[in-house]
Amino acid sequence: MKIQALAELLGGELRGDGDRVVRRVAALDEASESDVGVCFSSRFRPALRATNATAVLVTRDFVSDVPEGTPCVVVSDGRAALHQTLRCLHPQVLRRVHPETVRGPSHPTIHATAIVHKDARLGANVEVGPLVVIEAFATIGPSVRIGAQCFIGEGVHIGAGTTLAPRVVVLEGSVLGDEVEVGSGTVIGSPGFGFDAQGRLPHPGRVVIERGVYIGANVCIDRATLGETRVGAGARIDNLVQLGHGVRVGAGAVLCGQVGLAGGAVVLAGAVIGGQAGVAGTCTVGEGARVAAQSGVTRSLAAGGTYSGHPAEENRLRLRRLAFVKRLVDRSRDDRRRDDP
């Protein structure tokens, strides 16, 4: 693709030779001939100055750092430009995530080794990979892509445009909305961790994943004991996250790697939970709240705040307390030195 055409696609300002051709997006420090690099953060400034890319996409703050003779496209939103460029130059990735956008509707494509129950319903343009099992009364919407060795349980509903990577397990009664993306090894709908004196409690509830949710690899989302475990539209869940039975995650919330939400925990819309943080059962993390990595949430947190530590508290108060303790330690050390003969 010529740089001139890319600039027109992005609505950016071209500076330099627009006839050069780029074929892929690459990291600035690894780019070579026919590659286009992107810089919209100051931490990439040194790599931009030394890049061998054929062309670069930059925001206005970095124009002066572009190597002499290298064409650049100046854009207002670097991340949005990267997104559009990846979709344009890497259609194979787009096909994996949104297959309906790169080919027309067709009959379902089912691998010869897949096992699809006669009472399952598959929409147009569905792809079913090798060794997939789809049980009775499952409903698969149009343009769904199911990778190798996935298991789709009885009565599961999967919405249009959803992609399941290889070895995803979706157990009976679970509901996935449109355009959901699920990473390899994830299990959706396993029974929750509920026991009493008589043994493990039955879990007749279900899991509901709303539209546009991203779920990484090796995530476990347990079904509710009663009612639903629900993940709201547009939420982002990183690898190795555990959602206990009856958890509710609001729209647009972000759960980073190794986060654990105990049964009944609630994370409201737009909240961000840092890596390895835990939320105790029945606690609520308020709308738009931010919880730092490795924090332990043992009580409900108000909306919009920033929290850290174990137990999690307002970050400013915690930092002030840590500073006070440090001053006490320093003062005690100085006093001991004065008292030493």
- Integer Cα distance of 144 and 86 in angstroms: 21
Domain that holds residue 223: 109-316
**Which residue of the set 83, 111, 245, 310 is catalytic?**
245
253-301 pLDDT per residue, tens? 999 999 999 999 999 999 999 999 999 998 999 999 999 999 999 999 9
Domain boundary among 57, 89, 121: 89
Q: Are residues 127 and 38 part of one domain?
A: no
Q: Are residues 248 and 192 part of one domain?
A: yes
Q: What's the pLDDT score for residue 332?
A: 78
Task: Give, for all 341 residues of the chain, the pLDDT tens digit.
Answer: 999 999 999 999 999 999 999 999 999 999 999 999 999 999 999 999 999 999 999 999 999 999 999 999 999 999 999 999 998 898 665 555 454 444 444 568 999 999 999 999 999 999 999 999 999 999 999 999 999 999 999 999 999 999 999 999 999 999 999 999 999 999 999 999 988 888 888 899 999 999 999 999 999 999 999 999 999 999 999 999 999 999 999 999 999 999 999 999 999 999 999 999 999 998 999 999 999 999 999 999 999 999 999 999 999 998 888 888 888 888 877 777 776 66
Residue 101 in domain: no
74-103 pLDDT per residue, tens? 999 999 999 999 988 986 655 554 544 444
Q: Are residues 252 and 129 part of one domain?
A: yes
> In which residue are the tokens 């409900």 written?
300
Residue 328 in domain: no
Question: Which pTM does this prediction carry?
Answer: 0.82
The CATH number assigned to the domain holding 59 equals 3.40.1390.10
Residue 68 in domain: yes
Q: Are residues 126 and 69 part of one domain?
A: no
Q: Are residues 145 and 36 part of one domain?
A: no
Nearest to 231 by CA among 268, 183, 191: 268
Residue 329 in domain: no
Residue 255 in domain: yes
Q: Are residues 244 and 198 part of one domain?
A: yes
Q: Are residues 277 and 223 part of one domain?
A: yes
Q: Determine whether 90 is an active site residue.
A: no
Contacts of 277-286 with C-beta under 8 Å, sequence gap 24+, read 277/312, 281/244
Q: Are residues 304 and 158 part of one domain?
A: yes
The CATH number assigned to the domain holding 212 equals 2.160.10.10
Would you list the DSSP string of 141-171?
A: -TT-EE-TT-EE-TT-EE-TT-EE-TT-EE-
Residue 243 in domain: yes
Q: Are residues 156 and 278 part of one domain?
A: yes
Q: Are residues 213 and 72 part of one domain?
A: no
Structural domains of the chain, count = 2
Q: What's the pLDDT score for residue 245?
A: 96
Q: Are residues 125 and 255 part of one domain?
A: yes
Q: Let me know: does 151 contact 167? Beta carbons within 8 Å.
A: no
